[in-house]
Amino acid sequence: MISFKKAMLSVAVCALLVSPLFSLNWAFYAPSGRDGAALIYDAMDNQMVLFGGRGYVDAHMNDVWLLNTNNAYPMWTRLDLDDPPPARRFPVAIYRSTTDEMVIYGGRDYIQFFDDLWVLKLSPGSEEWDHLTPSGARPDPKSEASAIYDPVNDRLILFGGFNGSVHQNDLWAFDFNSETWEQISPSGSIPPARRGAMAVHDPNGHRLILFGGLGDVDNFNDVWVFDLNSEEWTQLSPSGTIPPGRGGGAAFFDSDNNRLIIHGGWAYDGAWIYYYNDLWALDMESLTWTELSPVGPAPEPRRNMAYAYDTQNHRLIVFGGNQYPNYYFGDLYAVEDWGPTAKKEFDVPETRASAVKIYPNPGRGPFKIEFSLVKPGPVTISVIDLQGRTLDQMHIKNATAGLNVFTWDPKAGTELPAGTYFFRLVTPYRTTVVPFEALR
């Protein structure tokens, strides 16, 4: 059952500190309310990473916060780092899973639009910023662009945005190995120029999926796919009730069930602003839209919130956002309990992980998990029950290219009653869920 859940933080938002000399100062233990911040899920360290945004307290910000998602009550921790990027809102952000890094590009403040590229290295205890300075052509300075990470080719893919004068529909790729930008000249019809569109990476089809966004006068609700192999745009024509046009919402790709999920955002018709808190799913096989109805109290409608999908716990985590005029949210909530339902296996290119083999199956354990990678990279293996709960996890920081075999012994810490369970394998290239039977 899908549900909304407002996260309960295990720390106070702020405290009044008193020194021995009786001087007073406020100290914040959670991010202040803001919109236009960047949020990614760090799968290697099972945490969310928040950067920047705009709010009441500091106008534009460049602070960094970590949210530990291992605990039942998530806890924020602020990182104080040297030489951070200039403060801004509306940068794009991706998680570079092959190197455990957050990458941000662009954004704006009240005066300028940015075209800079920054990398936040996330090794616990050694976090640091690195400013990349690629030579050659590059995208315009812009904000509210859309981006994904292409893990197969180790690239950041950047689409559209607003450069302060016009909306754009250009497409760029940043190659992390050569540290160069390249403008892509795609084939096929091209999406109209827009900002604030929702973009996700579909690992099952190795493609970018784009929904919605805002143009000069349009509130888009169209769906486009960009094939990362053929570099061709294709507009889809879904059936069913189609979500209202919008931009500035949240989205992720539910690879377990081959669905695009969108949530929230806003639209403007020239007279009225509309804010949304709805939740929709687009089945990528039937190309049918369905409005979902989570249980629990829904969050207030909002736009320009920070969001990321927690792949270990099957939940979309959303922070902040705003409503006009200048009401900034500082709450944290999740859409959770997606669960490993309707699992499917997909044909994939040779550049991704091969089929996962579990043996003995059925069995009492220890269980061996066998798979192959074309490129080395991080791998997370989770054990999940029929209710979608994560029972155990193994994090492999650098699985080798070629055949990998890992052993999981339930007797070493997790006793399993007899029944059906799932191994969930997350690699930089795809997510695979395989059932197994545990015997007494």
Please return the burial class of 41, using the count of CB atoms within 10 Å of its CB with bins 0-12, 13-18 and 19+. Answer: buried
CATH of 357-438, one of 3.20.20.70, 2.60.40.3080, 3.30.365.10, 1.20.120.1230: 2.60.40.3080
The alpha carbons of the chain give a radius of gyration, in whole angstroms, of 22
The Cα 432–Cα 282 span in angstroms is 20
Q: Does the pLDDT at position 2 exceed 90?
A: no
pLDDT the model gives residue 129: 98
pLDDT the model gives residue 164: 96
Every domain range in the chain assigned CATH 2.120.10.80:
3-336
Helix (H) or strand (E) run with residue 147 in it: strand 146-150
pLDDT the model gives residue 340: 43
Mean pLDDT computed over every residue of the chain: 86
pLDDT tens digits for range 97-132: 889 999 999 999 999 999 999 999 999 999 999 999
Every domain range in the chain assigned CATH 2.60.40.3080:
357-438
The Cα 292–Cα 275 span in angstroms is 17
pLDDT the model gives residue 401: 84
The Cα 425–Cα 412 span in angstroms is 20
43: nearest Cα among 223, 290, 313: 313
436: nearest Cα among 340, 346, 310: 340
How many angstroms separate the Cα of 17 from the Cα of each of 22, 23, 56, 120, 416? 9, 8, 21, 30, 47
Q: Does the pLDDT at position 433 exceed 80?
A: no
Higher-confidence residue of 206 and 377: namely 206
- Chain CA centroid to CA 70, Å: 17
DSSP of 74-109? -EEEEE--SSPPPPBBS-EEEEETTTTEEEEE--B-
The Cα 139–Cα 144 span in angstroms is 13
- Rounded to two decimals, the pTM is 0.76
Per the CB < 8 A criterion, the answer to whether 213 and 247 are in contact is: yes
pLDDT tens digits for range 415-425: 678 888 888 78
pLDDT the model gives residue 223: 98
Q: Does the pLDDT at position 328 exceed 60?
A: yes
Q: Does the pLDDT at position 352 exceed 80?
A: no
Q: Does the pLDDT at position 22 exceed 70?
A: no
User: CATH classification of 3-336 is 1.20.140.10, yes or no?
Assistant: no
Ramachandran angles phi, psi of 51, nearest 5°: -135, 135
Task: Output the six-digit token pair for 427.
Answer: 């690699």
Confidence label for 18 from pLDDT (cuts 50, 70 and 90): very low
pLDDT the model gives residue 436: 86
Per the CB < 8 A criterion, the answer to whether 331 and 320 are in contact is: yes
pLDDT tens digits for range 47-57: 999 999 999 86
